[in-house]
Structure 1
Amino acid sequence: MFLKIKIIQKVVICSIMITIACATAQAQTPSPWWFGVSGAANLNFYDGTTQRLNNSLFVPTAFHKGFGVKPYGSLFLEYRPGPIWGGILNVAYDGRGSKFNDVIAPCNCPATLETKLSYLSVEPSLRMGSATSNFFFFAGPRFAFNRGKSFSYTQLKQPNTDSDLSAVKKTIISGQIGVGYDFIVSSPAKESKVALSPFLSFHPYFGQDPRTIESLSISTLRMGVALKFGKGKVADLTPQPTAILTPAPEITFSVRAPLTRSVKRQVSETLPLRNYVFFDEGSSSIPSRYVLLTKDQAINFKETQLQNTEAVSMNGRSARQLNVYHNILNITGDRLRSNPGTTISLSGASMQGAEEGKMFAEGIKQYLVNVFSINESRISTNGRIKPLHPSEQPGGTRELDLLRSGDRRVDIESTSPELLMEVGGGMMRPVQLEAIQFDPQDGHAIFNVGGATGELKSWSVDVADETGKLQHYGPFTSNKESIPANTILGGRPEGTYKVTMKGETKSGLPITKESTLRVSRQEDIIEKAFRYSILFDFDKATTIQAYANFLKDVVSPQIPDGSNVIIHGHTDIIGEEEYNTTLSQGRAAEAQKILESALKAAGKNNVKFETVGFGENDSRSPFNNSLPEERFYNRTVIIDIVPNR
């Protein structure tokens, strides 16, 4: 799915660049009313899971991803009272079928699935054009009424099945956004107008779940052309003088003063524990980074020993959280010892073969038996080539070394809530930690220069106090820089400063912007906060729906009315930076949506949210990315609850 989304992004960007390049000719006078027909290809990208095809067919192996190219054809009416705003109404046949990635049934039998979903779609759109070109944007809702829901399923050694999907929604409400360009193919001297309009639109997965069961969703990229007919005034073809202008670059400048209060948060954190133990390539021994105790040391070990308070930066977590995770075998041993009725299963996975995977699992079992005196009958082991939820997906070709290192592991599984809790899948029951957090950026003046990386060679700032004493900082090249308040103040308790940003464009033009800055010595305050985290499997954003009950039942009751909720989304470094930023934003936004719904139902209407996705940003990542466990922990949404801020 990652590669397919990147293909969509590249096609959209290239198409926009082509249409902008075409938009240099002066537009002819448009007709208010246009009508015509359009044809297009729907590129349908399926994601999610389907296994129950209808009430009589539950296939043995689930299908997850699919792709199909299906036809789209419409009759449309377009109204353009002016060059900028207008409207479009399409009534169309809309094909949304797909061929799913083949799977292997438990009998080692290849299986295929092809869906043939189709709709009658009604698509009203707002049209936004230009007074100087035929380039336009459009966006609006899509109302789709199901017309076809058949499928074809084949499995080796089984008869083929051609039938209808069950639980298909009769009506779909979703949205689209797109771009197009009107090529006027009729003579400018004629009143009747004919336009040929290539267009491109994107239909994101929001609202496009075709069924009321399971988790299938569709994202569609539509590429086509419309034939338009209308009437307009005869164009004035008298040559007009032209002038060549070099527009000034768009540069913005703003200053954020340091906070007058240095906020330190006393945080009570619910730290989730991944139920994984990762093994190094070329070795079947438990890696030395995991804390391994002697039998005498294990007698006195309690997981509560890991909960001591310490001070950490708000930009990320301290190394203590990773140390807690690296005690996962000791935490497991302590919980098994404290709950004698519980059992666990250890599932080892290795690309070298299931035998090595079982060796991993047996090594952990022997540690728990010999060091924590756990009865062997309470621990079962097995070996696999891939884990139950692998990071490496079929067809993937990029960064396979990083993905495969995350799949070389042992999964700790249990049905006992004393050991694991089900929060969107198996996860070790969380550990409670206490910490004092601070944000070093609170004490900095932050200078924002919008457009600097794209337009400027460099920029600097001059900071002058009331007496005219000047301080110079720079040169800089990024869009944002910060300077500590104490550096600006020197020995002064406070001051008001005139700030002048001076830059040079890449074409050699000077740029000057001004602002003011008020700086005061900080006052330290302490506020209490609660922190929760959600962990994701590789490249998953929509799986946050599986955490809905955890967010509703555990997190939302801890949010008082009038408090602030800070939600940060993060990813590991695997994949493109831009995609990871979008992925983290989607994770954080979906968590906010679920919490807002739960708070509204509880009558809490005065809660403020600060939600942002940092992607793989190194300065904001909770952990480094050198170890597989660090990358797994960076696939997260962190929720901080600050009461009565």
Structure 2
Amino acid sequence: MLPINKNTFTLIISSLMIILGQSIATAQTAQPRWWFGLSGAANLNFYSGTTQRLNNSLIVPTAFHKGNGVRPYGSLLMEYRPAGMLGFMLNVGYDGRGGKFDSVMAPCDCPATLKTNLDYLTVEPSLRLGVPSTNLYFFAGPRVAFAMQKEFKYTQLKQPDTNEDFSEINSTIFSGQIGMGYDLPISSPNSKTKASLSPFVSYHPYFGQDARNIESWSVSTVRAGIALKFGRAGKVKEAEVPVAVIPAREVTFTVRAPKTVPAKRLVSETLPLRNSVFFNEGSAAIPTRYVLLTNNQASAFREASLQNEQTPSMNGRSARQLNVYHNILNILGDRMRANPGAVIALSGASANGPQEGKLFAEAIKQYMVSVFGINGSRISTVGRTKPLIPSEQPGGTKELVLLREGDRRVDISSASPELLMEVGGGMMKPVQILATQIDPLDSHVIFNVDGANAVLKSWTLDLTDERGTVKHYGPFTRDRESMTGTSILGNNKSGNYKVVMLGESKNGLPVRKETTVALVRQDESTEKGYRYSILFDFDKSNSIASYDKFLSDVVSPLITSGSTVIVHGHTDIIGEEDYNHKLSHSRATETQKIIQTALTRAGKSNVKFETLGFGEDSDRTPFENKLPEERFYNRTVIIDIIPGK
């Protein structure tokens, strides 16, 4: 019998972990999902507890407490290794748990020994966790063992040896194990039949491993062995081996620059008025960010006061347009006051239940009645758990806080055309805004690096003027970037620039492209532009069809021959960045198609389109993404119409 102690056990485990942990995996070209094979190992068994009644006919005079032993283990195995880290293992085989207890002294001052050949048929299913980029794996799972051999041999000096079977042996053992292993490939990388030798070690704690249903004898085991595994995989063809690409041949670089760079433009904007009021968590009061008037202020309020050019203190489109939207209740009150026959329905929604949703709606009704003097019979209210068009979808798990914040709202609906205009989605009748637009989109210089996202790690721009002054931009990763013409020109009236695009391919090769661009500043813009916006529900692009009539009958007639139409799509920050970029591009291109069809029917020609999808790009979104109404307004396509000169 091999003597086993704690030092020997520690040395064996430490050695195996060092051997496995220091191994570095060799990348394989193909691996099977299913593996079959067999394993062999040594069980290092450690006994603890007490046993004295060996069977119904033999109670030894001195109890045995501790012991150890080495016994064989062998199994048939199956493994399932799908793509990824998680897999499954199953071992079925022979499990030897025999050993020898530490010798004791009987009362007769006689040495006594106890050996056992305890063994089982074992079934061991396990979860397999592979370590990425290595052949190292860990496993853990239950063990179900069925007792087979339960023989013991008891010896005591001055009396015959006893060879019998233990009584009260547990016929079924439920326990567990945890371990680690390493797959060493022994087959050719191009062979269809894969084979590996896999050294492994596992630990089976004493939990659940009471050998008998009497006394307290339990067994802990450390198993160390090796498995031989086979799997079947498709042979790697030479054509499937990746071929190094030459990025310089796959990347094209172009620059689109305006003939003149307008610093500002007077724009008449038709702003869609979102027919929703969003409420804060934990309160049924109208949020203070909405403009709430006193009775005297309401008497003097007119919607037309919001249509004039905004004051210089309100910088940026977000502040300018949100100020109009945050007057939504005052606009509604002014319109209902001017149209006594108009009626509205308020639908409040809250995840806390329809009772709270109705409280939201009642708060708005009370404001209309008490501040604007609207007869309460003209306003109906209802409560819901979710709005009719919710942002949160069944089964969704990501970014639920933002989605639910957008569903905590009151939606305003009406059949009265004086209040709502059917431009797709039942928006309230738009508000006209006259404003000066700083650095309009047609003043931007667009840099296109076709293939950058697929081929390049990153790229930068160097713009050098006639005096040798260099401006550096980047690094970038997307296929398209833009800068305002005024930021490039600085204080100069005009400039001729050498443009150098420098990139690094994903396999480390340098990429260089060159072109030139000429810019001329136009300080005063004489033409008046027009801007229209259409809004989308969360994650929807196909609703563009509902805007067909609005785009064809309202927007397209304003586009004259020779005009430039810039169509740019945006999204909020909810969702994956790449997906949002594709979604915004889809919305923008579908918008362009509808307008082009209407222009063709009207016989208009020589109209230039520039259609862009910016996704959730925070530098270009028309609004921030802090408030739910900002995110709703960012789900948009904006149409800028620049008349031809």
Aligned partners of 1:345 and 1:380 also within 8 Å: yes
State the partner residue of 1:356: 356
Look up the match of 2:380. Answer: 380
Amino acid at match of 1:538: F
Q: Which amino acid aligns with 2:347?
A: S
Match of 2:291 in 1: 291
Alignment of 1:496-575 (within 5 A): 496-500=496-500, 509-520=509-520, 522-575=522-575
Gapped regions of structure 1 (runs ≥ 5): 1-19, 23-184, 186-238
Aligned twin of 1:473: 472
Q: When the two structures are aligned, how many residues end up with a matched partner? A: 405
Q: Partner letter of residue 395 of structure 1?
A: G
Which residue does 1:427 correspond to in 2?
427
**What is the alpha-carbon distance in structure 1 between the residues aligned to residue 485 and residue 545 of structure 2?**
43
Give the C-alpha shift of residue 342 in structure 1: 1.4
Divergent runs of 4+, >6 A = 440-446, 479-492
Q: Report the alpha carbon displacement of residue 579 of structure 1 after superposing the two structures with TM.
A: 1.6
Q: Does the 8 A contact of 2:261 with 2:485 survive in 1? A: no
1:596-611 map, 5 Å? 596-611=596-611
Aligned to 1:639: 639
Moved more, 398-407 or 524-533: 524-533
Per the alignment, residue 615 of structure 1 pairs with: 615
Q: Distance in 1 between matches of 2:272 and 2:517?
A: 42
Tell me the distance in 2 between the aligned counterparts of 1:267 and 1:491: 25
What amino acid is the match of 1:473?
A: H
Tell me if structure 1 keeps the 8 A contact 2:465–2:497.
yes
Q: 1:437, CA displacement in angstroms?
A: 1.4
The 5 A counterparts of 1:325-344 are 325-344=325-344
Assess, with a 3 A threshold, how the Cα gap between structure 1 residues 262 and 553 changes in structure 2: closer, same or farther: closer
- Read off the aligned partner of 1:588 and give its amino acid letter: A
Q: What does the per-residue CA deviation read over 1:335-373, in whole Å, with 9 as the maximum and x for residues that have no partner? A: 111111111111111110111111111111111111111
Deviations 1:74-102 (A, max 9, x none): xxxxxxxxxxxxxxxxxxxxxxxxxxxxx
Paired with 1:526 and 1:611, the residues of 2 have a C-alpha distance of: 24
Shift of residue 643, structure 1, vs aligned partner? 2.1
Q: Deviations over 1:388-443 (max 9, x none)?
A: 11111222222111111111111112111111122323221111111121327777
Deviation of 1:310 (Å): 4.0
Secondary structure at the counterpart of residue 527 of structure 1: coil
**1:278 and 1:410 in contact (8 A); partners too:** yes
What's the C-alpha RMSD, in Å, of the aligned pairs? Answer: 3.6
Deviation at 1:284, TM superposition (A): 0.8
Deviation at 1:563, TM superposition (A): 2.2
| Aligned partner letter, 1:627 | L
- CA separation in 2, counterparts of 1:490 and 1:269? 28
Amino acid at match of 2:367: Y
Matching of residue 305 in structure 1 with residue 305 in structure 2 = yes
| CA–CA distance in structure 2, aligned partners of residues 525 and 551 of structure 1 | 26
Check conservation: 1:292, 1:330, Cα contact below 8 A: yes
Measured at CA, do residues 603 and 407 of structure 1 come closer, stay the same or move farther in structure 2, by a change above 3 Å?
Answer: same
Task: Name the residue aligned to 1:204.
Answer: none
> Partner residue of 1:371?
371
Q: CA deviation at 1:472?
A: 6.3
Distance 1:567 1:493, change over 3 A: closer
Mark the CA change 1:309 to 1:376 in structure 2 (over 3 Å): closer, same or farther. Answer: same
Is the 2:421–2:427 contact (alpha carbons within 8 Å) kept by the matching residues of 1?
yes
Contact 2:269–2:532, Cα closer than 8 Å, also in 1: yes
Amino acid at match of 1:455: L
Contact 1:567 1:611 in 2 (8 A): yes
**Aligned AA for 2:607?**
V
The answer for the alignment partner of 1:278 in structure 2 is: 278
Q: Is the 8 A contact 1:571 1:635 kept in 2?
A: yes
Counterparts of 1:87-236 in structure 2 under 5 Å? none
Report if the CA contact (8 A) 1:569-1:637 is conserved: yes
Question: Residues 529 and 354 (structure 1 numbering): CA distance in 2 closer, same or farther, change over 3 Å?
Answer: same
DSSP 3-state at the match of 2:416: coil
State how far apart, in whole Å, the 2-side matches of 1:487 and 1:272 are. Answer: 31
Per-residue Cα deviation, 1:125-148 (whole angstroms, up to 9, x for no partner): xxxxxxxxxxxxxxxxxxxxxxxx
Partners in 2 of 1:289 and 1:529 — Cα distance? 30
Query: Could you tell me which residue of structure 2 aligns to residue 455 of structure 1?
Result: 456
Give the secondary structure class of the aligned counterpart of 1:317. helix
TM-score w.r.t. structure 1 length? 0.56
**Taking structure 1 as reference, are residues 535 and 493 closer, same or farther at Cα in structure 2, changes over 3 Å only?**
closer
Higher alpha-carbon Rg: 2
- The letter for the 2-side match of 1:528 is K
Question: Does the C-alpha gap of structure 1 residues 545 and 296 become closer, same or farther in structure 2, counting only changes over 3 Å?
Answer: same
Cα deviation code 1:203-237 (max 9, x no counterpart)? xxxxxxxxxxxxxxxxxxxxxxxxxxxxxxxxxxx
Q: Report how far residue 543 of structure 1 moved.
A: 1.3
Whole-Å separation in 2 of the counterparts to 1:305 and 1:290: 17
Counterparts of 1:418 and 1:509 in 2: how far apart (Å)? Answer: 63
Q: Output the CA distance in 2 between the equivalents of 1:552 and 1:491.
A: 42
CA distance in 1, matches of 2:535, 2:577: 19
1:256 is displaced (CA, Å) by 5.4
> Residues 456, 307 of structure 1: CA spacing in aligned structure 2 closer, same or farther, 3 A cutoff?
same
2:273 touches 2:430 (CA, 8 Å); kept in 1?
Answer: yes
Aligned twin of 1:389: 389
3-state SS of 1:532 partner: strand
Q: CA deviation at 1:301?
A: 0.5
**Structure-1 separation of matches of 2:245 and 2:620:** 39
Shift of 1:559: 2.1
Distance 1:377 1:575, change over 3 A: same
Does structure 2 retain, via aligned residues, the 8 Å contact 1:312–1:437? no
8 Å contact kept, 2:264–2:440? no
Contact 1:348/1:410 (8 A) holds in 2: yes
List gaps (5 residues or longer) in structure 2: 1-28, 32-191, 193-237
TM-score for the superposition, normalised by structure 2? 0.56
Distance of aligned partners of 1:491 and 1:610 in 2 relative to their CA distance in 1, 3 Å threshold = closer
Query: Offset at 1:514?
Result: 3.7
Residues 246-285 of structure 1 mapped to structure 2, 5 A cutoff: 247=246, 249-250=248-249, 251-254=251-254, 259-262=259-262, 264-285=264-285
For 1:382 and 1:490, how far apart are their aligned partners in 2?
56
State the alpha-carbon separation in 1 of the partners of residues 474 and 614 from structure 2: 26
Q: Among the aligned pairs, what percent are the same residue?
A: 61
Shift of 1:602: 2.2
2:214 aligned partner: none
Q: Structure 1's 400 and 521: CA in aligned 2 closer, same or farther, altered over 3 A?
A: closer
Contact 1:552–1:595 (CA under 8 A) maintained in structure 2: yes
Corresponding residue for residue 201 of structure 1:
none
Shift of 1:513: 4.0
Q: 1:380 to 1:452 in 2, by over 3 A?
A: closer
Contact 2:570/2:616 (<8 A) preserved:
yes
SS at structure 2 position matched to 1:420: coil
Q: What is aligned with 2:577?
A: 577
Looking at structure 1, the residues matched to 571 and 578 of structure 2 have their Cα atoms a distance apart, in angstroms, of 11
The corresponding residue for 2:346 is 346
SS across alignment from 1:588: helix
Q: 1:410 is paired with a residue of what secondary structure?
A: strand
Matched, 1:415 2:415: yes
Tell me how far apart the structure 1 counterparts of residues 445 and 566 of structure 2 sit (CA, whole Å): 22
1:586 aligns with 2:608: no
Return the alpha-carbon distance in structure 2 between the equivalents of residues 448 and 512 of structure 1. Answer: 14
Q: Evaluate the alpha carbon distance shift between residue 366 and residue 451 of structure 1 in structure 2; reply closer, same or farther with a 3 A threshold.
A: same
Instruction: Give the partner amino acid of 1:463.
Output: T
Deviates more, 1:441-450 or 1:525-534: 441-450
